Amino acid sequence: MAVKKAGKRTGSKKKLVIVESPTKVESIKKYLGSGYDIEATMGHVRDLPKSSIGVEIDNDFEPKYITIRGKGDLIAKLKKKTKNASRVYLATDPDREGEAISWHLSNVLGIDPKSDCRITFNEVTKDVVKEAVKEARPIDMNLVDAQQARRVLDRIVGYQISPLLWKKVKKGLSAGRVQSVVMRLIVDREREIEAFNPEEYWSIDLKLTNEKGRLPFKARFYGSAEGKKLPLSDEAETMKIVETLKAADYTVKNLTKKETKRKSAPPFTTSTLQQEASRKLNFTSRRTMIAAQQLYEMGYISYMRTDSLRVSEVAQKEAREYISQAYGQQFVPKTPKQYRAKKSAQDAHEAIRPTVVVNTPEKLKEKLKPDLFKLYRLIWLRFMASQMTDAIMDMVSADILADKYMVRASGSEIKFAGFMTLYVEGKDEAEEKTAKLPKLEEGQKLLLSSIDPQQHFTQPPPRYTEASLVKAMEEDGIGRPSTYAPTIATISARGYVARDGKSIYPTELGFIVTDLMKENFRDIVDVEFTAHMEDEIEEVADGDVEWKEVIRSFYGPFKKALDEAEEKIGNIEIKDEVSDVVCDKCGRLMVYKQGRFGKFLACPGFPECRNTKAIVKKIGAKCPKCGADVIERKSKKGVIFYTCENSPECDFISWNEPTDEKCPKCGSVLMKTRPFRGRGPLIYKCFNEDCDYERRPEKKK
């Protein structure tokens, strides 16, 4: 096909703008006016084939791109529109993937990639879109090549190791350049937990008051009167100290008062958005990115795949003006806040922020679906807080003498809330809260109100959650912002990991595959090697290295390891755990299988018998309709609901949990309910709709 320049043509022909998502089409059409025709590709139009590796290894790793199935009609339509357009702008997403899609489009549509055909915008707003058209540029082949390098590397690893796993372990398994090293993180953490030996230690908490027995506050045993910290390792030693403390006189030895600043968290990057949405909204990484993509396409937030902390001067100015009007000038820093990203961050985009500051969450609530509203509110609050003054805290620490020992009390209070008026960043581990101390003076006598010695044991490192796993991937340089969510989704779909609440842990299959990879493909599951490969891809994007050179240097050692593994690995049999549930179709004992949504029961006679069953979890309550046992189930979205074991004969189904208590008024079953979409206080309510009995649970004494 003859390549043509994307230059101007005469006549009244329209200019054609090609975007990725159809959601953007109407907005951009409105911004650019009637002289423009806007079309959407709905993602890639060309890719490597699924049926084969799609890389000609013997031809210097040349990729073999094909038209994606189902895109033929779209391409024909775009070709026709390109032919009739006065100019064509390729406006796919502003990242490497988007750059690659534009390059593929230029090839398919016969557009010269060196012409000014490429436009990008970080947000879908009128001014930004119109400015982007003025700043059209050639396609950046360094970014395209970086994407090709990643795609080819992933293909070589996935399509050459996965068949080995099928042959040696079982069908349907996969290995990936990023997913395999992520699995190693999870498996290594689980083994660390299993090998952990808890150690005993003790603490002594005290409640002290002033001389009149008023204004109680908490203190904790610290050590000797001279200020040397004394660890408490056993009960006998602790109880001796407790007896001394019970009989001691308490005197404030010294007070330390200081004013500290608490700095606001920076605006979101892809990684921190996924982490915080997991902590505060209980969103999976995938759910977060789906909602963020929609918010971006609707024009409400800036581009959501970024590791930059940069904020435009215009956005900062808008934020400062809004903060001054809404909260007061004292909440506006003297100079705009600047945040520094890590060295490897790409600065092509800004941090994730609302495109229009005055679009408060309350203004958009009626326009947005629940997930979009929750995520937009999180982004808006985080961004606005990042542009506000630091909080000022008054910190007080008191060293209190008690015979030959010292106990310590500390407290804090907010002197000036600053950004904390709006938002405080979540943490993976619970923070110990400190209350305000009463007014104390050096030399003041105190009274012991109570003393509480407690035994503790050191805890193993926690399992990864999605939030902490994304954080680890970012810190270790594993993958890119665009790969965090798909990687976690893949290892879940393959049955390599399972979940316990928010925690992620490896299944038996996950252990087997990861151990096999560690033994035979050390580089693939090595964190430092994977991070080094990411650095090399960055060098391709910067134009410092030719992309095929990266592939060549990788492939030699990889092919050697692959050939050795083929000879070395024997067949690995994974035995299924047998249950006591009899298959009601063929009489065999069913076995436990791991699926995408957790464990389930399957007949071992597959493929002759394809019977499967959900694992029944009885809750110890009786069905309010027929008296049979109630069982707990999960919806496809992971939400718990309750049905009768006699279903479908009995039609009982409820989001509320039945209890084993009877209603004192009518004798029906009491249900645990939470009004206000499950967020309100717990109420026990009668199942009988004609009965109005309800009560709150008794408070624990």
Q: Are 467 and 284 in contact (CB under 8 A)?
A: no
Question: Strand 87-90 to strand 391-402: parallel, antiparallel, or no bridges (unpaired)?
Answer: unpaired
Class of domain 200-263+392-457: mainly beta
Q: Are 688 and 668 in contact (CB under 8 A)?
A: yes
pLDDT (0 to 100) of residue 38? 95
Distance of alpha carbon 214 from alpha carbon 208, whole angstroms: 9
Distance of alpha carbon 280 from alpha carbon 265, whole angstroms: 15
Those residues whose C-beta lies under 8 Å from the C-beta of residue 247, and which sit 6 or more positions away, are 403
- What share of the chain has pLDDT > 70, as a percent? 93
Indicate if the pLDDT at residue 313 is higher than 80.
yes
Instruction: Identify whether 303 is a catalytic site residue.
Output: yes
Those residues whose C-beta lies under 8 Å from the C-beta of residue 407, and which sit 6 or more positions away, are 204, 206, 208, 219, 220, 221, 222, 245, 250, 400
Of 263, 342, 311, 665, nearest in space to 531 by CA: 342
pLDDT (0 to 100) of residue 680? 55
pLDDT (0 to 100) of residue 57? 95
DSSP code at position 357: T
Q: What is the mean pLDDT of the chain?
A: 90
pLDDT (0 to 100) of residue 345? 58
Q: What is the mean pLDDT of residues 423-450?
A: 83
pLDDT (0 to 100) of residue 431? 56
What are the backbone dihedrals phi and psi of residue 190, each rounded to the nearest 5 degrees, phi first? -65, -40
Distance of alpha carbon 201 from alpha carbon 239, whole angstroms: 13
pLDDT (0 to 100) of residue 2? 44
Task: Find the angle CA(120)-CA(74)-CA(102) to the nearest 5 degrees.
Answer: 25
Those residues whose C-beta lies under 8 Å from the C-beta of residue 634, and which sit 6 or more positions away, are 597, 598, 640, 641
- In this prediction, residue 677 has a pLDDT band, given cuts at 50, 70 and 90, of very low
- In this prediction, residue 682 has a pLDDT band, given cuts at 50, 70 and 90, of confident
77-108 in b/e form (b: 16+ CB < 10 A) is ebeebbeebbbbbbbbbbbbbbbbbbbbbbeb
Distance of alpha carbon 255 from alpha carbon 347, whole angstroms: 47
Structure tokens that stand for 635 in this block: 């919806």
pLDDT (0 to 100) of residue 701? 42
Among 48-62, 319-333, 670-684, the minimum mean pLDDT is found in 670-684
pLDDT in tens, 572-629: 777 777 888 899 999 999 998 866 556 789 999 888 999 998 777 888 899 998 889 9
Structure tokens that stand for 408 in this block: 């310590």
**pTM (2 decimals)?**
0.77
**How large is the C-alpha radius of gyration of the chain?**
31
Task: Determine if residue 625 is left, alpha or beta; phi over 0 gives left, psi from -120 to 50 gives alpha, anything else beta.
Answer: alpha
Distance of alpha carbon 530 from alpha carbon 183, whole angstroms: 13
pLDDT (0 to 100) of residue 689? 83
Class of domain 15-139: alpha beta
| 91 or 424, higher pLDDT | 91
| 15-139 against 270-389: fold identical | no
Computed from CA positions of residues 596, 598, 599, 602, in that sequence, does the dihedral angle turn out positive or negative?
Answer: negative
Q: 286: part of which helix (H) or strand (E)?
A: helix 285-297
Indicate if the pLDDT at residue 146 is higher than 80.
yes
What are the backbone dihedrals phi and psi of residue 339, each rounded to the nearest 5 degrees, phi first? -120, 140
For helices 527-541 and 547-568, give the axis angle rounded to 10 degrees.
150
Indicate if the pLDDT at residue 8 is higher than 60.
no
Q: How many CB atoms lie within 10 A of CB 180?
A: 25
Among 73-77, 537-541, 619-623, the minimum mean pLDDT is found in 619-623
Q: Which amino acid is at 550?
A: V
Distance of alpha carbon 177 from alpha carbon 253, whole angstroms: 59
Q: Which amino acid is at 118?
A: R
Residue ranges of domains in the chain: 15-139, 152-195+464-568, 200-263+392-457, 270-389, 578-695
Among 104-108, 400-404, 469-473, 481-485, the minimum mean pLDDT is found in 481-485
Among 313-317, 374-378, 381-385, 688-692, the minimum mean pLDDT is found in 688-692
Distance of alpha carbon 161 from alpha carbon 58, whole angstroms: 18
Marked catalytic residue, from 31, 303, 496, 555: 303
Q: Are 591 and 605 in contact (CB under 8 A)?
A: no
Structure tokens that stand for 489 in this block: 């989704």
DSSP code at position 180: H
CA count, 13 A, side-chain hemisphere, 282: 5
Question: Strand 391-402 to strand 250-262: parallel, antiparallel, or no bridges (unpaired)?
Answer: antiparallel
Q: Which amino acid is at 515?
A: D
Question: Strand 617-622 to strand 612-613: parallel, antiparallel, or no bridges (unpaired)?
Answer: unpaired
Indicate if the pLDDT at residue 117 is higher than 80.
yes
CATH for the stretch 152-195+464-568: 1.10.460.10
- Using CA atoms, how far residue 90 sits from 1, 22, 78, 337, 660, in Å, is 19, 14, 12, 35, 63
pLDDT in tens, 192-232: 999 999 999 999 999 999 999 899 999 999 999 999 999 99
Q: Are 447 and 211 in contact (CB under 8 A)?
A: yes
pLDDT in tens, 351-366: 999 999 999 999 999 9
Question: Strand 36-40 to strand 15-19: parallel, antiparallel, or no bridges (unpaired)?
Answer: parallel
pLDDT (0 to 100) of residue 593? 80
Task: Determine if residue 505 is left, alpha or beta; phi over 0 gives left, psi from -120 to 50 gives alpha, anything else beta.
Answer: beta
pLDDT (0 to 100) of residue 343? 61
Q: Are 402 and 245 in contact (CB under 8 A)?
A: yes
Structure tokens that stand for 556 in this block: 């030699």
Structure tokens that stand for 507 in this block: 């299944």
**Where do we find the tokens 């921190």?**
272
pLDDT (0 to 100) of residue 424? 85
| 107 or 8, higher pLDDT | 107
The counts of H helices and E strands in the chain are 18, 28
Q: Are 163 and 558 in contact (CB under 8 A)?
A: no
pLDDT (0 to 100) of residue 10? 43
pLDDT (0 to 100) of residue 4? 47
Structure tokens that stand for 46 in this block: 């060309």
Indicate if the pLDDT at residue 508 is higher than 90.
no
pLDDT (0 to 100) of residue 637? 59
pLDDT in tens, 620-666: 899 998 889 999 887 765 678 899 988 878 888 888 899 999 999 89
Q: Which amino acid is at 519?
A: E
pLDDT in tens, 158-200: 999 999 988 888 777 888 899 999 999 999 999 999 999 999 9
Those residues whose C-beta lies under 8 Å from the C-beta of residue 690, and which sit 6 or more positions away, are 666
Q: Are 385 and 228 in contact (CB under 8 A)?
A: no
Of 622, 668, 662, nearest in space to 642 by CA: 622
- Say which CATH superfamily domain 270-389 falls into: Topoisomerase I, domain 4 (1.10.290.10)
Helix (H, G, I), strand (E, B) or coil at 683: strand
pLDDT (0 to 100) of residue 614? 79
Distance of alpha carbon 460 from alpha carbon 549, whole angstroms: 43
